Chain A
Amino acid sequence: MKSKRNRTGTLVFVVCLSVSTSALALNVSTHRLVNRHAARTTAFFSDYLREVLGVGQGVDTILERDGMRLSVEAWLEEGGIREDDLPRSLYHFHDPLKPWERAGLHLGLRRFTSSVKWMQERDQGGLFAANWSWHDARRVYYEALTEPDSRRREALWADLFRGLGQIMHLVVDASVPEHTRNDPHPIGGVSQRGSYEYWISGEHATPPREEQFVAKYLSAPIGFIEEILDVAPPAGEPVATVPIARLIDADRYDGSNPHVTVGVDPRAPAAAGLAEIANANFFSENTLRGEYPYPNEQGLVPARSTTPLGRVRRYFSRPAEQGLLPASPLRAECAAEAYYWRGELIQPPPYPCVDAAVWEETARHMLPRAVGYARGVLEYFFRGSLRVNTSRMRLGSPFLQIDNLTGEEMSGVFEVFGRPDVLTGEGRERTGVINGGAAATIAPHRSVVLPITYLQPEHLTPWQILVFRGRIGLEEDAVAAQVFAVPHVIILQTTHTADLRETCGTTFEYPYWSREEWCDWRPTTEMVTLGELITNRSANVMARVFVTPYRQGDEFQLDGVSMPGGVWQRKADEPDPRAFRMRPGAAQTLTVQLIDGTVVTSRVYGSISAYATASKSYTFSRAGDDPPWHVSARRFTQVHMSSHPSYRVVSISGHPNPTDVRTDRYSVPFLVDILRVEGNLPNPRYTQYWTDYANVYWMAPPGGPVLLQEPLRTEFAALTFGPVPRVPLEAVLERNYRFGELDFIRTFVTRESLPSTLTVIGRRPVGS
């Protein structure tokens, strides 16, 4: 009894001593560092955040949730910490040599779920825990991509990265031999030198040591051969159905083939799960005696060496070329090390068969793999890779071409959301329905062209995000996304003004006596075209604007500023030009090159000319043929113009298109009044005849028509006529939009009423 009390007292003393000197119980801080460097050592992750998801500052983007403002990287670290919240840590074990149903921590009567299943458990909650499974991360990812409220979306992004950090924690724990060999280590915390995990956290306890620790263990990750992620889950597995479980257990090592856990060299990736590598290659303190087939004593080389505490101890090493990772030492001789050292009592380690030398060797192999496999979580989660080719028209309908850049089939629903205010806190608004909302399948590295119905969202923006939800390869309910821009410019001519040269003359005709005065107006080179470049103004989309051909003496102005050589080239963040002016402004092509490489061209088009006459005439016919005898005064004008096919003529000279009015006061075919506007492209025209005076003799006199000749001549000579008509030379045209094009513009560019009217004006010389 006394002896028992003594033992208890000693134990209390030792524990008191050990706690008072145990400094570095920082296991969670190791998870934080591993997650941090898993995110940092892959350019993929930060690039993906910026280029694919539009998270502008990559891993350094600050996200706020419930008052916590952390970077993406820090949220991953937070997940690495929080996954150890009780009782979650009880689910961080996986024995790769057991069926997954029985692979978790086994504590006497209670067997806990294995980490591979815990990772994908849809209801982790229970009484004490929240749900941070892979499926929750997928759900949160989708919500983060589509949530309209920016603050809530920010919180969802934070949750996503915390959740991924928690999943990374599970993978990282599989690098710890104890976690793969059902070896709970509940009293490791009572001594800083008491367990692998506490020894590791002690290695990065102060600022300089942390830097040395990172350089030694975390800066050069060792990954895995990616084919393990193509391995389907075990037959009948109901929970861990996503191949991410293969990062922990790829079912390659069965207890008889440890060589599968080693790559071509000790630092090469292997086609095995991390738990398989840890299990096959390293002992844990309580599994040294044949509990597992590997490692075993066979081939171990004993050697005496100095311990980290300065004593000589017997170790066992495993040389290379044994089909396992070389380790020197692999384990220590089992012996207590209670002694006074430098005048201080060093407590007996609770695990006397290992010490810092063994843990250092384990860490040298397993920590780089912990980083590499944790990185694999991010790479697998964000493996969906899409490319969106800007909306295009096909057979008059809008389509979206989507490229699947991954090596896995994608089958699911695609959605498009606008991202207005991308620079100041994005919104989210559904832009359109793709494929009628039905699922579509894209084979690996193939494309599909899907119809899109635009919904004309409230906020217009060229910045969009494509969201996919469905199956990627073996994973159901996967999510992928791709931001894309629909930079678009509409080149709209608003006016075309041409100075006209006037030519007039007089013509006499025989035998039909007539006198005609005429004028002809044709365009000179003095033509000016004004117009607008319409874009979505939330962002600059133009890279270059130029005119071809550009000849010496031509003028090209953008926003009132002359562009030498007819070219504007973006230099920095100056705003897109909005108004253009061109002279001569006809038969030239205006080209706008967008920042995404798209080229929009428009032929600057406009031509107007006119011809007009005023005449008087008389006819007489010896044969008495039709037409009857008459004297008349008439006027005629015709306006010709040419028009771009994308415009339709609204009116010419103030008369709407079409107009066809015919008045026949004299029942003589050529003495009718005609007003006609014909809008047939490409040469619409306006025509008008006036019959100002007519005197028709329907019956020939008894002496024949010759008797009429003299009165007709007299009447003709006295008749005043004219003047040559000068109708307004002006045409109004309107832009024609193809089917679906206006929807596209209203969705991506502007819903304002477009200034689509083009006025073509011909200016006669002053005083004419």
Chain B
Amino acid sequence: MAVLTRTGLCVLALVLTAACRTGPEQWGPFRGRVVDAETGMAIAGAHVMVLWERDIPSPAHWTQTFYDAQEGMTDTDGYFEIPRETRFFTALVSRPRFAVFAPGYLPQAEEVTPPDGRLYVDPTVLTMRPLKTREDRCRHRPGAPGVPPNELTNFVEAVQRYTTELKCWELREAQP
């Protein structure tokens, strides 16, 4: 009984404390720069997405469902910015998850300044490693971001177009 009471209180607390997450690390604006790991040059046209999910409490284990997503693209200097948007009813919304897609590149490392700064809030540089062979590109081809229809349409279409053009089905994937 005590466990149930405590669990109920926890859930109530989560709802009541939804407004706790209002900082820029939660809702942005998110900024960063995407560069080539080998040359240090900016990668223009890289697609950046930020995605939030909402936890669904369950007696067994919590699960998640899609809450919201935004996308942006790097400019010629490799910079991107995803503006902050006001949201309500944010109970149990997770902190943001990021994905970056640049055709022919693989994310390698993120560097925040200062080192203990907030990712994509404080100055952040994402370095991406160029994938030089078709086999390598197929092996590391991006997956779907897992969003409902009409969300992140530019990101999703770019990934699907890239994957289609790669024609990885022509290569027998390596059997581990």
A62 within 8 A of B: yes
Known: A25-B55, A60-B163, A189-B55. A68 touches B9 (CB 8 A): no
Considering the complex, give the chain A residue whose CB is closest to the CB of B172. Answer: A43
Stretch at the interface among A69-77, A248-256, A609-617: A69-77
Contacts of B62 in A (CB 8 A): 25, 27, 186, 188-189
Tell whether, in the assembled complex, residue B97 and residue A107 are in contact, meaning their CB atoms are under 8 Å apart: no
Tell whether, in the assembled complex, residue B99 and residue A207 are in contact, meaning their CB atoms are under 8 Å apart: yes
Residue of A11, A23, A33, A219 near B6 (CB, 8 A) is: A11
Contacts of B53 in A (CB 8 A): 25-26, 28-29
- A43–B172 CA distance with the chains assembled, in angstroms: 6
Tell whether, in the assembled complex, residue A86 and residue B61 are in contact, meaning their CB atoms are under 8 Å apart: no
B133 within 8 A of A: no
Q: How many residues of A contact B (CB 8 A)?
A: 72
Known: A15-B17, A23-B95. A184 touches B61 (CB 8 A): yes
Tell whether, in the assembled complex, residue B173 and residue A189 are in contact, meaning their CB atoms are under 8 Å apart: no
B-contact bits for A19-39, CB 8 A (1 contact / 0 none): 110111111110011001000
Distance of A341 from chain B, by nearest CB (Å): 12
List 17 A-B pairs, Cβ < 8 Å: A12-B16, A15-B13, A19-B17, A24-B95, A28-B64, A32-B146, A40-B173, A43-B173, A57-B167, A58-B168, A60-B164, A60-B168, A60-B169, A67-B149, A71-B144, A178-B61, A190-B10
Distance of B100 from chain A, by nearest CB (Å): 5
A16 within 8 A of B: yes
7 nearest CB pairs, A to B: A189-B62, A23-B95, A207-B107, A74-B144, A16-B17, A58-B169, A84-B63
For chain A, residues 64 to 98, give those with C-beta under 8 angstroms from any C-beta of chain B: 66-71, 73-74, 77-78, 81, 84-87, 89-90, 92-93
Tell whether, in the assembled complex, residue B56 and residue A187 are in contact, meaning their CB atoms are under 8 Å apart: no
Tell whether, in the assembled complex, residue B9 and residue A11 are in contact, meaning their CB atoms are under 8 Å apart: yes
B154 within 8 A of A: no
Residue of B17, B150, B160 near A12 (CB, 8 A) is: B17
A589 within 8 A of B: no
B58 within 8 A of A: yes
A126 within 8 A of B: no
B176 within 8 A of A: yes
A-contact bits for B40-72, CB 8 A (1 contact / 0 none): 000000000000010111111111110000000
A688 within 8 A of B: no
Distance of A343 from chain B, by nearest CB (Å): 10
- A165–B110 CA distance with the chains assembled, in angstroms: 31
B-contact bits for A182-219, CB 8 A (1 contact / 0 none): 00111111100001010000000111101100000001
A696 within 8 A of B: no
- Most B CB contacts (10 A, CB to CB) among A19, A50, A77, A195 go to A19
Residue of A16, A86, A184 near B13 (CB, 8 A) is: A16
Considering the complex, give the chain A residue whose CB is closest to the CB of B58. Answer: A89
Contacts of A85 in B (CB 8 A): 63, 65
Contacts of B61 in A (CB 8 A): 27, 89, 178, 184-186, 188-189, 195, 197
- A22–B20 CA distance with the chains assembled, in angstroms: 12
A220 within 8 A of B: yes
Tell whether, in the assembled complex, residue A206 and residue B98 are in contact, meaning their CB atoms are under 8 Å apart: yes
Contacts of A62 in B (CB 8 A): 160, 164
Tell whether, in the assembled complex, residue B63 and residue A32 are in contact, meaning their CB atoms are under 8 Å apart: no
Distance of A532 from chain B, by nearest CB (Å): 35
CB < 8 Å A-B pair total? 181
Tell whether, in the assembled complex, residue A90 and residue B173 are in contact, meaning their CB atoms are under 8 Å apart: no
B143 within 8 A of A: yes
- Most A CB contacts (10 A, CB to CB) among B56, B64, B164 go to B64
Residue of A29, A211, A221 near B176 (CB, 8 A) is: A221
B76 within 8 A of A: no
Considering the complex, give the chain B residue whose CB is closest to the CB of A62. Answer: B160
Contacts of A93 in B (CB 8 A): 60
Distance of A75 from chain B, by nearest CB (Å): 9
Distance of A126 from chain B, by nearest CB (Å): 16
- A261–B163 CA distance with the chains assembled, in angstroms: 39
What is the interface of chain A, defined by CB distance below 8 A to chain B? 8, 11-12, 15-17, 19-20, 22-29, 32-33, 36, 40-43, 46-47, 50, 56-60, 62, 66-71, 73-74, 77-78, 81, 84-87, 89-90, 92-93, 105, 107, 178, 184-190, 195, 197, 205-208, 210-211, 219-221
Considering the complex, give the chain A residue whose CB is closest to the CB of B111. Answer: A208
- A420–B163 CA distance with the chains assembled, in angstroms: 27
- A89–B55 CA distance with the chains assembled, in angstroms: 13
Tell whether, in the assembled complex, residue B64 and residue A184 are in contact, meaning their CB atoms are under 8 Å apart: no
Tell whether, in the assembled complex, residue A208 and residue B64 are in contact, meaning their CB atoms are under 8 Å apart: no
Contact count band on B? 35 or more
B117 within 8 A of A: no
Contacts of B100 in A (CB 8 A): 207
- A56–B108 CA distance with the chains assembled, in angstroms: 32
Residue of B16, B98, B108 near A211 (CB, 8 A) is: B108
Contacts of A17 in B (CB 8 A): 20
Distance of A767 from chain B, by nearest CB (Å): 65
Contacts of B113 in A (CB 8 A): none
- A15–B62 CA distance with the chains assembled, in angstroms: 15
- A12–B16 CA distance with the chains assembled, in angstroms: 9
Tell whether, in the assembled complex, residue A20 and residue B10 are in contact, meaning their CB atoms are under 8 Å apart: no
Considering the complex, give the chain A residue whose CB is closest to the CB of B56. Answer: A86
Contacts of B156 in A (CB 8 A): 69
- Most A CB contacts (10 A, CB to CB) among B14, B58, B98, B172 go to B58
Tell whether, in the assembled complex, residue B14 and residue A19 are in contact, meaning their CB atoms are under 8 Å apart: yes
Known: A25-B55, A60-B168. A20 touches B146 (CB 8 A): no
Known: A11-B10, A20-B21, A90-B58. A208 touches B172 (CB 8 A): no
Distance of A572 from chain B, by nearest CB (Å): 16
- A27–B110 CA distance with the chains assembled, in angstroms: 23
Distance of A475 from chain B, by nearest CB (Å): 25
Contacts of A73 in B (CB 8 A): 143-144
- A2–B169 CA distance with the chains assembled, in angstroms: 67
- Most B CB contacts (10 A, CB to CB) among A78, A178, A185 go to A185
Considering the complex, give the chain B residue whose CB is closest to the CB of A214. Answer: B140
Distance of A275 from chain B, by nearest CB (Å): 15
- A68–B152 CA distance with the chains assembled, in angstroms: 12
- A57–B168 CA distance with the chains assembled, in angstroms: 8
Tell whether, in the assembled complex, residue A29 and residue B60 are in contact, meaning their CB atoms are under 8 Å apart: no
Contacts of A74 in B (CB 8 A): 143-144, 146
Distance of B81 from chain A, by nearest CB (Å): 17
- A208–B92 CA distance with the chains assembled, in angstroms: 26
Tell whether, in the assembled complex, residue A46 and residue B173 are in contact, meaning their CB atoms are under 8 Å apart: yes
Known: A20-B17, A46-B173, A77-B144. A86 touches B108 (CB 8 A): no
Considering the complex, give the chain A residue whose CB is closest to the CB of B175. Answer: A43
Distance of A115 from chain B, by nearest CB (Å): 11
Residue of B16, B94, B149, B150 near A23 (CB, 8 A) is: B94
Known: A16-B17, A43-B173. A24 touches B107 (CB 8 A): no
- A281–B20 CA distance with the chains assembled, in angstroms: 40
Distance of A504 from chain B, by nearest CB (Å): 69
Contacts of A187 in B (CB 8 A): 7, 10
